[in-house]
Amino acid sequence: MAKKLSIEKKGNFSGLPTSDIIKKNKNLKTQIDELRKKSIRLTHISELRQEEPFKSLFPIEDKVLQGILADMKENGFDNSKPIDVWKGIVIDGNTRFNAAVMAGIKEVAVYDHKFRNQEEALEYAVHNQRDRRNITDAEIYKCVEILDNRRSRGGDRKSEDFKSSSELLISREKTAQTIGTSAAKVQKARTIQDHGDKKTINAVKQGKISINKAYTQVQEKRKKNKQNSNDQNNEMCKLKIFICRNDKSKLLHEFQVLKSNVKPIMQQISKIIKNIF
């Protein structure tokens, strides 16, 4: 049976008077009030589960995991740092969850979120993680990919209607704000998704090349392919012009002449083959 914990948070983490912070950010007062009302419960760890995309949204660093595991073995689970869950799914706190399982802890503190959908849950998880780490290009790319796949849109990002609308800019800005990066980098990541080959995409995901470098490679390849396509189109146009400018009967006559010249040669080749065999 889940137990209710009432935890009062005192002060703030910035070292500044709360009144000064509120003056700088009008929305912070609401956030502080929500924190004070926060209700944390204890639950059996078996009631929680890990699922994609939250499970592998960010890689778990073994050094950090081992440090938390050692602390839990000595001091138990710190209830002041609950695992964030949504519908029983661990959305933030996967490292602490894994450490608790490895330490044999049966009961952990959790905070149940009331998100409307998975998109909101993802945005929360990404926002929390980005404030705790120096997010890498590989992680930025993965976040863009996952958020784009889960986010509801009024159209296909590749379609002309979507490209020509302000929705593309809004989506780019929203994703950039959630991840904590620039809108330009989000757009570059999307270009890699839409036009990059598997080798380039995998290299970005594995952290072997940066988003900027991959974007440059993709754009150069696209430019080259476009030029080749234009060259082919130009040759087709030349051929069509040639055909239109020449009399059809003349072309037919030239074809018949060519055919008559080829026929004797083929007959000679046939005779040679018969003599050999």
Summarize pLDDT for 101-128 with one digit per residue, the tens. 999 999 999 999 999 999 899 989 988 8
- Same domain flag for 157 and 92: no
Residue 210 has pLDDT above 90, yes or no: yes
Domain end (from 70, 100, 131) = 131
Asked whether residue 36 falls in the same domain as residue 82, the answer is yes
> What's the rounded Cα separation, in Å, for the pair 163 and 183?
15
Q: Are residues 23 and 80 in the same domain?
A: yes
Other CB atoms within a 10 A radius of the CB of residue 4 amount to 8
188 and 276: one domain?
Answer: no
Query: Is 75 inside a domain boundary?
Result: yes
d(CA 158, CA 126): 25
Same domain, 13 and 43: yes
Residue 231 in domain: no
Does 33 lie in the same domain as 84? yes
**Domain assignment of residue 229, yes or no:** no
Pick 244 or 97 by higher pLDDT: 97
Q: Mark whether 177 and 252 lie in a shared domain.
A: no
Q: Does the pTM of the predicted model rise above 0.75?
A: no
In a domain, 184, yes or no: yes
% of residues, the chain, pLDDT over 70: 62
Domains in the chain: how many in total? Answer: 3
Tokens of 124: 């929360």
Residue 7 has a pLDDT of 44
- Residue 12 pLDDT > 50: no
Q: Is residue 183 domain-resident?
A: yes
Domain that holds residue 267: 248-277
Q: What does the pLDDT look like over 221-261, one tens digit per residue? A: 888 887 776 666 666 666 666 666 555 566 666 666 666 76
For residue 230, being part of any structural domain is answered with no
Residues 111 and 139 in one domain: no
Q: How high is the mean pLDDT of the chain?
A: 78
What is the structure's pLDDT at 4? 53
Indicate whether 66 and 144 sit together in one domain. Answer: no
111 shares a domain with 13: yes
Residue 243 within any structural domain of the chain: no
Cβ within 8 Å of residue 119, ≥6 positions away? 147, 150, 151, 152
Work out the average pLDDT over 133-146. 87
* Cis status, amide bond into 59, omega within 30 of 0: no
